[in-house]
């Protein structure tokens, strides 16, 4: 790495003191117009890059914010942080992105790293709703917006899409189409989204007078593979239920739903003729699947926008005011649910 050009070098060359350079570079009106211009010119000539570390160390302004998610590859999250990144870029902030992979230890490491890095704030989709990790954030008084779940702490900002309502919407649509035995391919059991989703599933079923069967509720990782494996086991008789025990499948994520499409190919069943399927998230590709996936839309762009605006507002106004935003999901009817007549 080449030795860095600092304000001292510029000062020396310009024949002024380094604090004058500092002021000139910040366009402090106190400095003479001529010297200001000259110093800017020299800085440019010398390829001067201000050292954010030094700046941050002194002023506590690092112009950096952290994003901590459980799966940065997921199209769901990437749509969210895309808009966050755009806003940040416009405001001169940089974004540190971390993946917790649904792991509390990793999440803890990510949080402490963020603190060590001196971020001005974070947006986090936490692994759990009441872990010690959240306490770390609270203790440190780190400016934070939670997304995708609602931690069980009152003094917290969040932007949340109502997963319970989403599950309710899905169950309702399935029931309207004659389904009663609905296999739920949920996310990991420890994940709060899974719990909210489960709650919506159960309550809607109960409200409709349909018996809840525990064997139809599965907690799996959010991936094509785990979804596929689950169905394989069922089809190959390695499971407590058989392929006759349900007529519809709903999932916590479109990615899991895609796993069902893969299973359909491998196990030779038809969607929606053999099983109706409803996903969740409404990621880009779902519209073009065969058949187009009926799913529950999450307002991802708004989640991103609201969360970053909330965070920036807190940072800029040093505000302590709590903001809680709950967004509603929306049913998108396409072609993966079929009306059936029960005997």
Partner DNA sequence: TTGTAAGCGTTATCAA
Partner DNA sequence: TTGATAACGCTTACAA
Q: Using CB under 8 A as the criterion, which residues of the chain lie in contact with a copy of itself when the complex forms?
A: 1-2, 47, 49-54, 56-57, 60, 62, 64, 72-73, 75, 78-79, 81-82, 85-86, 89, 94-99, 106, 109-110, 112-113, 115-118, 136, 139-143, 224, 255, 258, 261-262, 265, 283-292
Residue 4 interacts with DNA (CB under 7 A): yes or no: yes
Q: What is the 3-state secondary structure (H, E, C) of 46-69?
A: CCCCCCHHHHHHHHCCCCEEEEEE
Output the smallest distance, CB 203 to a copy of itself, in A.
Answer: 31
The residue whose two tokens read 């510029």 is: 10
Question: Which residues have a Cβ under 8 Å from the Cβ of 190 and sit 6 or more positions away?
Answer: 102, 127, 128
Identify whether 272 is preceded by a cis peptide bond (ω within 30 of 0).
yes
Site string for DNA, 53-72 (x = CB under 7 A): -xx-xxx-------------
- Cβ proximity to a copy of itself, 143 vs 196, nearer residue: 143
| Degrees to nearest 5, angle at CA 185 with 179 and 188 | 150
Count of residues of this chain found to bind DNA when the rule CB under 7 A is applied: 30
Residue 8 interacts with DNA (CB under 7 A): yes or no: yes
Site string for DNA, 80-99 (x = CB under 7 A): --------------------
- Cβ proximity to a copy of itself, 211 vs 321, nearer residue: 321
Strands 248-251 and 294-297: unpaired
Output the smallest distance, CB 7 to DNA, in A.
Answer: 4
- Cβ proximity to DNA, 117 vs 233, nearer residue: 117
The residue whose two tokens read 């708004």 is: 302
The residue whose two tokens read 């003729």 is: 273
Question: Which residues have a Cβ under 8 Å from the Cβ of 159 and sit 6 or more positions away?
Answer: 145, 146, 147, 302, 303, 306, 307, 310, 325, 327
**Chosen from DNA, a copy of itself, none, partner binding at 19 (C-beta under 5 to 8 Å by type):** DNA
Q: Torsions phi, psi of 249, nearest 5?
A: -130, 135
- Cβ proximity to DNA, 17 vs 328, nearer residue: 17
- Cβ proximity to DNA, 6 vs 101, nearer residue: 6
Residue 51 interacts with DNA (CB under 7 A): yes or no: yes
Of the listed pieces 47-55, 90-98, 132-140, 147-155, which binds DNA according to CB under 7 A? 47-55
Identify whether 291 is preceded by a cis peptide bond (ω within 30 of 0).
yes
Residue 316 interacts with DNA (CB under 7 A): yes or no: no
Residue 17 interacts with DNA (CB under 7 A): yes or no: yes
- Cβ proximity to a copy of itself, 198 vs 271, nearer residue: 271
Q: How far is CA 6 from CA 27, 54, 241, in A?
A: 17, 11, 69
Output the smallest distance, CB 169 to a copy of itself, in A.
Answer: 23
Tokens found for residue 49: 């890059």
Residue 318 interacts with DNA (CB under 7 A): yes or no: no
The residue whose two tokens read 């203790």 is: 139
Q: How far is CA 3 from CA 6, 46, 47, 48, 58, in A?
A: 9, 12, 11, 11, 21
Query: Which contiguous run of DSSP H or E holds residue 147?
Result: strand 144-147
Q: Which residues bind DNA (CB under 7 A)?
A: 4, 6-8, 15-20, 22-23, 25-26, 30-36, 48-51, 54-55, 57-59
């Amino acid at each position: 790495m080449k030795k860095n050009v600092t304000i001292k070098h510029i000062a020396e060359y310009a024949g002024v003191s380094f604090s004058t350079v500092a002021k000139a570079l910040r366009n402090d009106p106190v400095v003479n117009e001529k010297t200001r211009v000259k110093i800017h010119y020299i800085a440019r000539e010398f390829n001067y890059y201000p050292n954010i570390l030094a700046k941050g160390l002194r002023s506590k302004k690092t112009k950096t914010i952290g994003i901590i998610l459980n799966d940065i590859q997921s199209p769901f999250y990437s749509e969210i942080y895309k808009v966050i990144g755009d806003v940040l870029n416009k405001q001169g902030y940089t974004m540190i992105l971390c993946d917790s992979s649904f792991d509390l230890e990793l999440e803890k490491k990510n949080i402490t790293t963020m603190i060590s890095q001196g971020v001005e704030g974070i947006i986090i989709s936490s692994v759990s709703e009441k872990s010690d990790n959240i306490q770390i954030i609270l203790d440190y008084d780190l400016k934070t917006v939670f997304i995708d779940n609602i931690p069980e702490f009152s003094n917290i900002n969040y932007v949340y899409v109502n997963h319970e309502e989403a599950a309710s919407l899905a169950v309702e649509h399935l029931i309207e189409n004659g389904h009663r035995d609905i296999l739920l391919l949920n996310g990991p059991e420890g994940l709060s989204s899974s719990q909210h989703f489960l709650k919506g599933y159960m309550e809607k079923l109960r409200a409709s007078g349909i018996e809840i069967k525990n064997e139809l509720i599965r907690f799996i990782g959010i991936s094509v593979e785990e979804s596929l494996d689950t169905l394989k086991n069922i089809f190959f008789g390695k499971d407590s239920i058989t392929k006759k025990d349900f007529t519809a499948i709903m999932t916590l994520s479109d990615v899991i739903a895609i796993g069902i499409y893969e299973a359909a190919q491998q196990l030779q069943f038809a969607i929606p003729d053999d099983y109706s399927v409803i996903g969740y998230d409404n990621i880009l590709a779902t519209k073009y699947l065969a058949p187009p996936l009926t799913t529950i839309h999450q307002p991802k762009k708004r989640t991103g926008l609201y969360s970053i605006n909330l965070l920036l507002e807190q940072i800029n106004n040093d505000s302590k005011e709590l903001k809680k935003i709950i967004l509603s999901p929306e049913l998108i009817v396409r072609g993966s649910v079929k009306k059936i007549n029960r005997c």
